[in-house]
Amino acid sequence: MAIIILFMTTMTIVAQGGIDQPLAKINAGAEINQVGWDASGNILAVATLDGLRLYDINLQLVAQVRQGVVVNSVSWNPNGLQLAMTNGNAIEIWNWNSSTQSLTLAHTLHRSAESMAVYWSPDGARIASLEALEWDKGSSDLQPAIILIWDAKTFQLQKTIPGTYVFNRLYTLGNALDWKPNREPIIAGIGHRVRIVDNEMFHETGLIAYILDAVTGEIVKDISLLGPYALSIAWQPPSGDRITIGSELAVLWYEVSTGSFVNPLPSQSFDVQSLDWTGDGRFIASDGSVGDSVQMGAARFFASINNAGTRSLEWNPQFNRLAIATAGQNAELRIENPGLVPGFVFMPVANAGADVTITDANSEGVATISLDGSGSTDQDGAITSYQWSENNIVIAHGIHASVNLPLGTHIITLTVTDNQASFDTDEVIVVVR
C-alpha cells in the first residue's frame, strides 16, 4: 500500500490568467454533470439536469432526449454507435444514427436503486456503473454506492464488486472510475471503502483510490493518502503505467509498478473534479487547465485555458479540441482550442483505413492484405513513422504495406509518430475467410 502525505506548500502554480478565446461557447441553461465525445469527434454528448443533449463541434444542438429528467452520467460505446446514460433507477442504452442524427432507445437496464454513473470500457465489451445504496442521512452530501459490471453485448449483469464505497455528491462522478486504456479489464477508482450498520457509516480504511479487476472483482492495489480527499481519477495513456488523482489540493501522479507517487502536478483549482489525457499521454487537462507531463519535472509548464469553475471536460478524439462544462445551475459549455496554450503540441491522428473482409481465393490458408495509412494527418507537423502491428508484434512499416495473413479475424494496429515525437494509434479489422 502506498501512502503519501501532501501539504499545501507542495502545490506550485506557474501560469496565471485564462485564455478566453473558445472556438464555440453556449449557455446551457441547466446544470451539466458530464460531457463526452463520440468516436468520430463530431458529436458531444452532454448529461444535464434537464435530459441528455447532443451537440456538433460548433455546439449546435442536434438531438435531445429525456428532457426534464436528471441525467447524472453518459458514456459512449467506443464504436460510436451507442451510448449509455443514467435515468433514475435505470441505465439506458441508445443507438445513435449519424446519418439521421437521431437516438433510438435500444435497452433499459432496470435497477431498484439510483444509477449514479456509467463508464463504457475501451474495448466496448463492458460497462461499469455506480449504484447508490439507501442511506437516510438527510442533507448529507456523502453517498455510499456499489460498483456493477455489465456485459455490453448481452447487457446482463456480470459482476457486483464486493464492498461499499462512499462518494461526495457535490462533485461530478464522471471521473470517479476509469478503465485502463490498454484494454485490460482493469479499473481505477476513488472512494473510501465503508460499512453501513444501523444507518451509520464506518470507514474500513483510509483508502482514497484503488485498482480492481473487473472480472474477478478483486482489489489489485490500494492507494492511500493522508490529507486531501480524492475527487477524480484517470489513467495516463497509452499503457496505463501511471494514474493521476485529482484531489482537494493538487493533481497527484502515481506510478503503478513501484507503488509510489511522483511529484504532484500543479493545479489552478483546489477541487480537481475533472481529468483527461491526450491519447499519447503527454498533455493532461484538469479543471480547465492544460499541463505538459514531459516538462512537469523541471519547467513546471502549466497554462490555464479557462478560469471558470469546471464541472466536466474531455479531449476530442482528434485531440485538437477540448470540451469544457463549467459548474453551476446555468452552466457554460465551451469548445476550447488547446493550440492557444504556449507549448502545446498537436498529436498526429492515425487512420488505419476501413475494415475489410477478403476471401482466400486459392485455398492456401493465407491472403495478401494491402494496408493503407494515407488517411492519417498531423495538424502542426509531419508524420515521420508508420508502424503496423498485431498483438503487439510489428508486422510492417510504411504508409502503405502488404502483409500475408492466415484465415481468421485480425486486429491490426497502426501507430503513427510525428516530427515532435507525438503519436497516435488506430485499428483496422481484417477478416480472412
What distance lies between CA 70 and its chain's CA centroid?
21
pLDDT more than 70, % of the chain: 87
Classify burial at 84, counting beta carbons within 10 Å of its beta carbon; exposed 0-12, middle 13-18, buried 19 or more: buried
Q: pLDDT per residue over 27-38, tens digit each? A: 999 999 999 999
Whether residue 184 has pLDDT greater than 60: yes
In the predicted model, is pLDDT for residue 81 greater than 90? yes
Choice between 19 and 336, residue whose per-residue pLDDT is larger = 336
What secondary structure does DSSP assign to 261-326, as a single string? Answer: EEEEEP-S-SS---EEE-TTS-EEEETTEEEETTTTTTT--EEES--SPEEEEEE-TTSS-EEEEE
Confidence of residue 305 (pLDDT cuts 50, 70, 90): low
The yes-or-no verdict on residue 5 having pLDDT over 70 is no
Is the distance from CB of 336 to CB of 23 less than 8 angstroms?
yes
Q: Is pLDDT at 4 greater than 60 in this prediction?
A: no
Is 205 a residue whose pLDDT tops 70? no
Judged against a pLDDT cut of 70, whether residue 304 lies above it is answered with no
Task: Give CA–CA dist 144/59, Å, rounded.
Answer: 35
pLDDT computed for residue 133 by the predictor: 86
The winner for highest mean pLDDT among 36-45, 183-192, 267-276 is 36-45
Does 9 score more than 80 pLDDT? no
What pLDDT does residue 228 have? Answer: 62
SS3 215: coil
Domain spanning 348-432, CATH class: mainly beta
Domain range list for the chain: 2-340, 348-432
Residue 195 has pLDDT above 80, yes or no: no
Q: Across residues 176-202, what is the average pLDDT?
A: 85
C-alpha cell at 5: 502525505
Nearest CA among 226, 238, 313 for reference residue 269 = 313
Distance CA 20, CA 295 (A): 24
Question: What number does CATH give the domain 2-340?
Answer: 2.130.10.10
Q: For 285-314, what is the mean pLDDT?
A: 66
Going by C-alpha positions, the residue among 16, 21, 14 that lies closest to residue 340 is 21
Confidence of residue 264 (pLDDT cuts 50, 70, 90): low
Looking at mean pLDDT, say which of 187-196, 239-248, 371-380 comes out highest. 371-380
For residue 99, how far is the Cα from the chain centroid? 25
Distance CA 12, CA 15 (A): 10
Provide the pLDDT for residue 12.
27
Average the pLDDT over 108-127 and give the result: 96
Whether 303 and 315 have beta carbons less than 8 Å apart is answered as no
pLDDT at 421 over 90: no
Q: Determine the Cα–Cα distance for residues 400 and 413; give it in Å rounded to an integer.
A: 13
What integer is the mean pLDDT of 83-91? 97
Q: Out of 4-18, 267-281, 319-333, pick the least confident.
A: 4-18
User: Residue 297 — pLDDT band, cuts 50, 70, 90?
Assistant: very low
Angstrom distance (rounded) from CA 273 to CA 175: 7
Share of the chain above pLDDT 90, in %: 58
* pLDDT score for 231: 86
Q: What is the pLDDT of residues 211-252, one digit of tens each?
A: 999 999 999 998 876 556 788 999 999 889 999 988 877 788
Mean pLDDT of the region 391-406: 96
**Above 50 in pLDDT, residue 15?**
no
| pLDDT level of residue 286 (50, 70, 90 thresholds) | confident
Q: In terms of C-beta density within 10 A (0-12 exposed, 13-18 middle, 19 or more buried), how is residue 129 classed? A: buried
